[in-house]
């Protein structure tokens, strides 16, 4: 074991702080499930490890922390790389661990273990994806955390040939394809600026309707309402909410507790990201607004879980996309923030 690894393990025993506020006070510790980077004022404010399998999580957090410390040592300003780059590195470490079945990356120094790991990476994705995985291992090498260095002749063997000709195609007639593209792009561009207002409006609706129902039950001195009583209450609440200023401030917006309008919004965002990435249904459903990244290449990427070509096991991988995907993911996530919070509160109550 290298001196660097011994030092790292001693540091990690104390679960040190990894992020700090503007006054240099500790905010997030290494093994926290999320690292808070708000003090850096970057586009990406947090780095989450919630989706990482628990058996790999601590190792991935440990090596990511070690890379950050090494970057600070090499930097004239005592700073690490951008949060978006840390997110990409987290994703790559997770992909390697998931395919390999191990996450103690120091083991890659062993020739036998490296051969095992390398074989599991065959078919992992396009050349860009494979190059990124190799680059991450090489970063560990530069930080003296592993003696393994990956050359192109090695990572080129991991390339999935199915990804090199543009991947899977969607066989839409051109006129229909263009029409759908125009519709979803217009929708996303229209409602993206209103995404936080939509969430706030829905939060207001949930609170109002819950208060109205409680008041009605108390007034009638009952524990539940009959179908007729419920219908009358809904009509009264609908008449009032239809006059709320949010209905006019947000174009064609409607209040529906069951999520009718939000459902349309999510479908539009889903179609938009799908058309601009060619990711499949389950892959799209695994994405959130942190999935978009345009910091590492001229062509932006979206990341998500895929089981294609990996015997059904989920791995974190990437697809080429366009800037509109960023707006769609942000719209889908931010507009439904209140709905998620409200649902979680009801589940925990």
H, E, C per residue of the chain: CCHHHHHHHHHHCCCCEEEECCCCCEEEECCCCEEECHHHCCCCCEEECCCCCHHHHHHHHHHHHHHHHHHHHHCCCCCCCCHHHHHHHHHHHHHHHHHHCCCCHHHHHCHHHHHHHHHHCCCCECHHHHHHHHHHHHHHHHCCCCCCCCCHHHHHHHECHHHCCCCCCCCCCHHHHHHHHHHHHHHHHHHHHHHHHHHHHHHHHHHHHHHHHHHHHHHHCCCCCCHHHHHHHHHHHHHHHCCCCHHHHCCCCCCCCCCHHHHHHHHHHHHHHHHCCCCCHHHHHCCCCCCEECCCCCCCEEEEEECCCCCCCCEEEEEECCHHHHHHHHHHHHHCHHHHHHHHHHHHC
pLDDT value of residue 150: 95
Torsion of Cα atoms, 111 then 117 then 119 then 124, to 10°: -140
Percent of the chain clearing pLDDT 70 (strictly above): 92
**Inter-axis angle of helices 127-142 and 83-100, nearest 10:** 100
Q: Is residue 117 part of a domain?
A: yes
The answer to the question of residue 314 being in a domain is: no
pLDDT at 282: 87
Domain identity same for 157 and 179: no
pLDDT at 119 (0 to 100): 93
The answer to whether residues 243 and 129 belong to one domain is no
* 38 and 140 co-located in one domain: yes
Last residue of a domain, one of 143, 163, 183: 163
Mean of the per-residue pLDDT values of the chain: 87
pLDDT over 70 at 116, yes or no: yes
Residue numbers of the domain that contains 17: 3-163
Q: What is the pLDDT of residue 142?
A: 93
Residues 208 and 179 placed together within one structural domain of the fold: yes
Residue 313 pLDDT > 50: yes
16 and 159 fall within a common domain: yes
Residue 172 has pLDDT above 80, yes or no: no
Residues 86 and 109 in one domain: yes
189 and 329 part of one domain = yes
Residue 289 falls within a domain, yes or no? no
In-domain check, residue 119: yes
- Is 184 found in the same domain as 157? no
Pair (119, 263) in one structural domain: no
- Residue 264 is assigned to a structural domain of this protein: yes
Average pLDDT for 54-67 = 94
Average pLDDT over residues 196-210: 92
Question: Which pLDDT does position 174 carry in this prediction?
Answer: 61
Note if the pTM is more than 0.85: no
Whether residue 178 sits in one domain with residue 158: no
Is the confidence at residue 164, as pLDDT, over 60?
Answer: no
| pLDDT at site 320 | 86
Q: Is the residue at 96 inside a domain? A: yes
Is residue 291, in this structure, part of any structural domain at all?
A: no
Specify whether 128 is located in the same domain as 268.
no
Task: Please say which residue of 144, 163, 182 terminates a domain.
Answer: 163
> Residue 273's pLDDT is what?
93
In this predicted structure, what is the pLDDT of residue 167? Answer: 46
Q: What's the pLDDT score for residue 162? A: 65
Domain tally, the chain: 2
User: Does one domain contain both 153 and 35?
Assistant: yes
> Of 104, 135, 163, which closes a domain?
163
As a whole number of angstroms, the distance between CA 184 and CA 190 comes to 10
Query: Is pLDDT of 296 > 90?
Result: no
pLDDT of residue 347: 82
What Rg do the C-alpha atoms of the chain give, in angstroms? 24
Confirm whether 297 is domain-assigned: no
């Amino acid at each position: 074991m290298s001196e660097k690894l011994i030092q790292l393990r001693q540091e990690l025993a104390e679960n040190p702080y990894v992020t700090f506020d503007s006054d240099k006070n500790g905010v997030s510790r290494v093994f926290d499930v999320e690292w808070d980077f708000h003090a850096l004022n970057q586009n990406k404010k947090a780095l989450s490890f919630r989706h990482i399998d628990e058996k790999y999580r601590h190792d991935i957090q440990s090596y990511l922390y070690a890379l950050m410390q090494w970057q600070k040592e090499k930097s004239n300003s005592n700073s690490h790389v951008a949060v978006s780059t840390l997110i990409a590195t987290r994703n790559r470490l997770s992909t390697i661990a998931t395919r390999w079945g191990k996450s103690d990356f120091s083991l890659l120094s062993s020739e036998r273990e490296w051969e095992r790991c390398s074989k599991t990476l065959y078919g992992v994705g396009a050349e860009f994806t494979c190059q990124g995985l190799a680059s991450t291992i090489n970063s560990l090498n530069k930080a003296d955390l592993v003696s393994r260095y990956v050359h192109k002749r090695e990572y080129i063997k991991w390339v999935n040939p199915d990804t090199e000709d543009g991947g899977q195609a969607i066989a839409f007639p051109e006129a229909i394809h263009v029409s759908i593209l125009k519709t979803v792009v217009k929708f996303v561009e229209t409602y993206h600026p209103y995404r936080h207002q939509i969430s706030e409006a829905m939060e207001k609706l949930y609170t109002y309707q819950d208060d109205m129902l409680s008041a009605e039950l108390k007034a009638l001195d009952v524990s539940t309402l009959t179908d007729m009583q419920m219908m009358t209450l809904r009509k009264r609440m609908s008449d009032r909410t239809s006059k709320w200023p949010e209905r006019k401030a947000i174009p064609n917006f409607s209040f529906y507790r069951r999520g009718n309008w939000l459902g349309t919004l999510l479908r539009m965002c889903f179609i938009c990201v799908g058309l601009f990435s060619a990711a499949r249904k389950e892959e799209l459903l695994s994405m959130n607004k942190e999935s978009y990244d345009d910091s590492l290449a001229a062509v932006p990427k979206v990341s998500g879980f895929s089981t294609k070509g990996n015997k059904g096991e989920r791995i974190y991988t990437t697809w080429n996309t366009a800037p509109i995907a960023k707006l769609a993911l942000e719209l889908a996530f931010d507009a439904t923030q209140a709905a998620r919070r409200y649902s979680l509160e009801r589940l925990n109550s």
